Chains A and B, each alone.
Chain A
Amino acid sequence: MLHFIARRFLVLLATMLAVSFVVFAALELNIEDVATHVLGQFATADQRHLWLAENGYYDPFLYRYLRWLMHFLIGDWGRSIHFKEEVTTLIPYYLKNTAMLAGISLAVMTPLALLLGVLAGMREGSALDRMISFFAIATTSIPQFASAVFLSGIFVFWLHLLPGASPMTSGFAWRELVMPVLVLVLAGTGYLTRMTRASMVEVMSSAYVRTARMKGNSFARVVLRHALRNAMVTPVTVVMLYIPWLLANVVVVEVFFAYRGFGTLLYTASLQHDVFLIEGCTMVAVVAVVSTQLFSDLAYVWLNPRVTFDAPSEKTAGAAA
């Protein structure tokens, strides 16, 4: 067990290191660009040169990378050019807003998707199954900016029930959170539903469920007491993988509704070529993704005693089946 965690952790660290190198290379390999972005377009060549010399940008690239990495590790992430604030004070505030949005979406999405998935998967091929499956495919296919447009059309412009933007300028407002949550839930429920359904179908066609049924148990009892627990293994690990999905997808939703979250922050940073802020945001996003992958692996092993800790390859085989 410890061996497994340690090995996964080492892989995680190596990935992080590689990612940090890629990010640094992409953003700071061209030092003239960095100087232009920091000092603005109208700085003279002399001013850029002076700034670059002052900040050690004429040092060799690898040396600069290692120094940046050291600073990064001790929490000196630089100042945002656009917001004129420390990156380390900006990110937590925006990340908190996104965590709230993502948390509420997950809390709505998970029970809904599990319920729909179980209902669809317990009788494969039934009318209910086909209806839910179609709904799942349809909702996952619609791009979020499109569903944001459709839902705003209905709830904001037609029914006048909700506000169309969520900047929360005058403090926290529940009403402004509804639309972004709705769009995320609509986009995310389908995939989890399909995963749950596939898992449920698999379990329902297994021998032990047939045995339980033949022993004379009612259908409801077989589903609830025999099938459900085994069918939940895959979806529970998939829920963990939603965190990277949410991080990737909040950008569109947050930009659409002008919600002040992590996605908007990264988006603004990249539009403004705010080098240090982009670096900080990217590293935070990657840490979140990689650590949820680790947690998801652990959860899978913990929930499925047939998988041993030393053979992580079995996990992928089990998940694919």
Chain B
Amino acid sequence: MKTFGALLRSPSALFGLAVGAVALMTALFAPLLAPHDPLQTITPLALPGSVAPDGSHLWLGADFLGRDILSRLIWGTRTVLLWSSLSTAASFSVGVSMGLLAGYYGGKLDTALSFIANTLLAFPVTVLYIIIITSFGASGANIVIAVTFASAPGVFRIMRAIALDMRNRDFVAAAITQGESALAVMGREILPNAVTPLLADLCLRLGYTAITVGVLGFLGLGLPPPTPDWGGMVAEGKNMAIAFPHLVIFPCIAISLLMLAMSLLSDALQQIAKGSSRA
């Protein structure tokens, strides 16, 4: 709660929260907000602001198949938020639980888990994505798997370092002496101390995963068409961007804005985490 209060005092965090909230609302209420069906063919390559045959406006124009770009952007918010939050949640569940175990028990378990994490970290991330998605096929579930492989090791390292540190503190020793189970010690004593650094990482990772979903879409490895997906929209419009820049500019603005918001929020959280650790 103290963290939240501090967040509200930072303008960049407020901006991040606001953009995040707007994106969330857009994703939730996409069917109500979108003026058209994102898959419906209206006027191919219509320019921004032109009027569709039925008299409605295509505010951001239409793509090469005549689909309304604004509606696709709005539905695309859902795609990006859904898959990036699912992937991030999966990475955090794996990373945090493995990190807790490794840091708490140490020894051979720690050595083994750390070795696996370091092996995965040896891959350049894009290479890892490409390998996993090309061998298993492009689908939402495989995006989640690929992102988990790529980012769980990072989360693991943060959690493990904190757990290792906490393991030797008096309050943890006290809890163990009281006869609390290992699970209770990890969940109630160690995990709460890791919340702020994990939260800062969560924001950043959520943003990066949103980029990843976009990049995979751009490389044609994301969700299969015709799913509205910001990265995919850029990939589809790229070759016609000379004549019709509106095909690519709007999805790029959308993803950049969302990313900027997430980074600012994460930066503010890190500042707060640093401040509270100094005090």
Closest Cβ–Cβ distance, residue A15 to chain B (whole Å): 5
Chain A residue contacts of B262, Cβ below 8 A: 141
Docked complex: B85-132 residues within 8 A CB-CB of A: 115, 118-119, 122-127, 130-132
Docked complex: A122-139 residues within 8 A CB-CB of B: 134, 137-138
Q: How far is the CA of A18 from the CA of B131 in the complex (A)?
A: 16
- Give 14 A-B pairs besides A145-B214, A145-B252, A267-B130 with Cβ atoms closer than 8 angstroms: A15-B122, A138-B260, A141-B259, A141-B263, A142-B260, A143-B259, A150-B249, A153-B245, A248-B126, A252-B126, A255-B219, A256-B238, A286-B122, A289-B122
Q: How far is the CA of A26 from the CA of B234 in the complex (A)?
A: 30
Docked complex: B216-257 residues within 8 A CB-CB of A: 218-220, 231, 234, 238, 241-242, 245, 248-249, 252-253, 255-256
Closest Cβ–Cβ distance, residue B237 to chain A (whole Å): 9
Question: B189 contacts the other chain (Cβ, under 8 Å)?
Answer: no
The residue from B130, B135, B242 contacting A266, defined by CB atoms under 8 A apart: B130
Chain A residue contacts of B27, Cβ below 8 A: none
Q: DSSP class of A's interface residues: helix, strand, loop or mixed?
A: helix
- Tell whether, in the assembled complex, residue B122 and residue A157 are in contact, meaning their CB atoms are under 8 Å apart: no
Question: B193 contacts the other chain (Cβ, under 8 Å)?
Answer: no
Question: A247 contacts the other chain (Cβ, under 8 Å)?
Answer: yes
Question: B211 contacts the other chain (Cβ, under 8 Å)?
Answer: yes
Q: How far is the CA of A140 from the CA of B115 in the complex (A)?
A: 29
A-B contact pairs, 5 of them (CB 8 A): A16-B122, A147-B256, A252-B218, A255-B219, A278-B134
Chain A residue contacts of B220, Cβ below 8 A: 271
* Known interface pairs A14-B115, A141-B207, A143-B211; A270-B130 also in contact (CB < 8 Å): yes
Chain A residue contacts of B127, Cβ below 8 A: 247-248, 251, 266, 281-282, 285-286
* Known interface pairs A19-B123, A137-B263, A255-B219; A145-B231 also in contact (CB < 8 Å): yes
What class of interface size applies to chain A in its complex with B? 35 or more
Chain A residue contacts of B74, Cβ below 8 A: none
Question: B202 contacts the other chain (Cβ, under 8 Å)?
Answer: no
Q: DSSP class of B's interface residues: helix, strand, loop or mixed?
A: helix
Chain B residue contacts of A266, Cβ below 8 A: 127, 130
Closest Cβ–Cβ distance, residue A269 to chain B (whole Å): 9
The residue from B12, B211, B219, B260 contacting A267, defined by CB atoms under 8 A apart: B219
Question: B215 contacts the other chain (Cβ, under 8 Å)?
Answer: yes
What class of interface size applies to chain B in its complex with A? 35 or more
Chain B residue contacts of A149, Cβ below 8 A: 234, 238, 241, 248-249, 252
Q: How far is the CA of A286 from the CA of B126 in the complex (A)?
A: 12
Question: B206 contacts the other chain (Cβ, under 8 Å)?
Answer: no
- How would residues 144 to 160 of chain A score, 1 for a CB under 8 Å from any chain B CB and 0 otherwise? 11110110110001000
Q: How far is the CA of A234 from the CA of B214 in the complex (A)?
A: 31
Chain B residue contacts of A282, Cβ below 8 A: 123, 127, 131
Q: How far is the CA of A252 from the CA of B125 in the complex (A)?
A: 12
* Known interface pairs A145-B215, A270-B130; A290-B122 also in contact (CB < 8 Å): yes
Closest Cβ–Cβ distance, residue A234 to chain B (whole Å): 16
- Tell whether, in the assembled complex, residue A289 and residue B130 are in contact, meaning their CB atoms are under 8 Å apart: no
Closest Cβ–Cβ distance, residue B170 to chain A (whole Å): 21
